[in-house]
Structures are given as C-alpha cells and as structure tokens.
C-alpha cells in the first residue's frame, strides 16, 4: 500500500530527512548520474550536508577526479569510508584477485562491512537508487526501514526514470563521471566494470561473467558470504 511519503518529490524527501534527522543522516553515493542529481538537489536545499562514499581502493581515476570536482563546486567535504583490509592485506588473507573468484565476499569486505560500520553512527541514510535499475530495487520505497543496517533509508529518486536523471543533469549543468561518455553507463570498481555495447542493459557492464547485479548494499540481506 502506498504511503504519503511515496508521493513526495525528491526535494521534499530530502527536506524531510534533513529536518527530521539533522546531522544523523547522510547521502551515500558512488557518484553515478543519480547520485550527482541527488547531490545537486541537496546542495540547493542546504549548504552543508553529509556525503559518504566507500573508497574500495579500486575506483577509477575518473571517479576520484569527479569527487574532487564536486567538493570544489558544492563546497563540501566527502566522508570517505575505507575497508578494514588494504588490497595487499586482503590478498594475504583471501588470495589474489578475490573479485574474480568470489565477488560477493570481496564486496562484503570492501563495501558492505565498511558501510555497516559507518551507518552505525547514523539514524538514516539517503540513497540514489531507482526502482527501474534492478529487480532487487523494484520494491524500494521513498521512505523505508532498512532492517539490514537498522536505520531509516530514504530513496528520493526511486520513481525517476533514467531519461529524467539525464534531463536534470543537462538542464542544470551537473557534473558527471566522464566514463559515461565512453560507454560506461554504470561504474563501480575497475576490476568489475566494463563498457557496454548498444542494446545491452545499463548494468550489463557490472561484474561481467557473474549473475551478480548488486554489491549487497541494497539487498535486504547481504549477498552470500558478504559478512564473512
Ligand atoms: S565491485 Fe569488484 S573489486 Fe569492488 S568490492 Fe565488489 S567484487 Fe571487489
């Protein structure tokens, strides 16, 4: 059943989160096009807001460049969350190229666990997922309880289409990852992202060779082994 929150605009959802949760709510982004739209809307609501990203140690140089650009443009400081293990320590503990053998475990170590530790400080987190992106995301609501991490989750863009996202970016001259113009519609770690070809799904370039479509952050339960 629809709740009143499901009818909120993205701006209203963000205002609700900032008003109700103050400094105990944060945007969490990997700086895809949806994240950039959300950051831009948030920056028009209030000058200061918390923005968290997970730096897995395997991000593209273009993603780091975009982070620096948006810190400059919006005058904010991104809170970077790091995995407990450095890439070398992970290799010592789990062997080389874990992402090729067990990407669920790798995402668990490098994404889910660090985010879990960070979210323990908060009462709510704001994501930029859209319901059309994956089967898992189809059931997402604008305002929901995240039982996995134990806090409120706000998804202000859940009912936006990809066309609406790009329309907003172009109309408002919002910065975006230059890899999108080189055939990468969805961008994660270097080892698990490839360019797509025309006709492929936007997320076909993520974890190529695996059925995996989610890193585990937006699953109601962590991907198998992700908490190991
Ligand atoms: S996206 Fe790939 S490299 Fe990055 S954490 Fe997940 S499995 Fe590891």
24: how many CB neighbours lie within 10 A of its CB?
Answer: 15
Q: Are residues 143 and 157 in contact, defined by beta-carbon separation less than 8 angstroms?
A: no
Q: How far is the CA of 106 from the centre of ligand 1 (A)?
A: 5
Is residue 69 very low, low, confident or very high in pLDDT (cuts 50, 70, 90)?
very high
- Pocket of ligand 1 from Cβ distances under 6 Å: 56, 58, 99, 103, 106-107, 110-111, 188-189, 191-192, 215
Dihedral (CA of 129, 123, 22, 13) sign: positive
Residue range 173-216, pLDDT digits in tens: 999 999 999 999 999 999 999 999 888 888 888 888 888 777 77
- Phi and psi dihedrals of 220, rounded to 5? -65, -30
Walk me through the domains of the chain, giving residue ranges and CATH numbers: 4-192 (3.40.50.620)
25 beta partners: 124
What pLDDT, on a 0 to 100 scale, did the predictor assign at position 228? 27
> Which residues are CB-neighbours of 187 under 8 A, at least 6 positions away?
30, 31, 32, 60, 62, 63, 177, 179, 180, 193
Ligand 1: which of 60, 87, 91, 107 to mutate, most ligand atoms within 8 Å of CB?
Answer: 107
Query: pTM for the full model?
Result: 0.92
Residue range 95-140, pLDDT digits in tens: 999 999 999 999 999 999 999 999 999 999 999 999 888 777 778 9
Q: Whose CA is nearest to atom 6 of ligand 1?
A: 107
Q: How far is the CA of 92 from the centre of ligand 1 (A)?
A: 17
């Amino acid at each position: 059943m629809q709740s009143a929150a499901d009818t909120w605009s993205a701006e209203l959802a963000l205002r609700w989160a900032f008003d109700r949760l103050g400094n105990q709510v944060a945007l969490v982004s990997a700086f895809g096009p949806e994240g950039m739209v959300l950051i831009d809307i948030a920056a028009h609501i209030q000058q200061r807001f918390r923005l968290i990203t997970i730096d897995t140690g395997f991000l593209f140089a273009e993603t780091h460049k975009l982070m620096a650009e948006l810190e400059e443009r919006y005058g904010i400081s991104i809170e970077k969350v790091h995995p407990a293990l450095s890439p070398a320590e992970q290799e010592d503990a789990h062997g080389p190229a874990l992402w090729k053998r067990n990407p669920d475990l790798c995402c668990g170590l490098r994404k889910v666990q660090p985010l879990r530790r960070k979210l323990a400080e908060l009462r709510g987190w704001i994501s930029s997922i859209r319901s059309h992106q994956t089967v898992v995301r189809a059931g997402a609501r604008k305002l929901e309880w995240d039982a996995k991490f134990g806090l409120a989750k706000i998804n202000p863009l859940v009912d936006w289409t990809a066309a609406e996202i790009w329309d907003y970016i172009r109309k408002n001259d919002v910065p975006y990852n230059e890899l999108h113009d080189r055939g990468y519609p969805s961008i994660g770690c270097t080892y698990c992202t490839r360019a797509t070809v025309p006709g492929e799904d936007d997320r076909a370039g993520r974890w190529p060779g695996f059925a995996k479509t989610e890193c585990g952050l937006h699953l109601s339960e962590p991907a198998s082994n992700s908490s190991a």
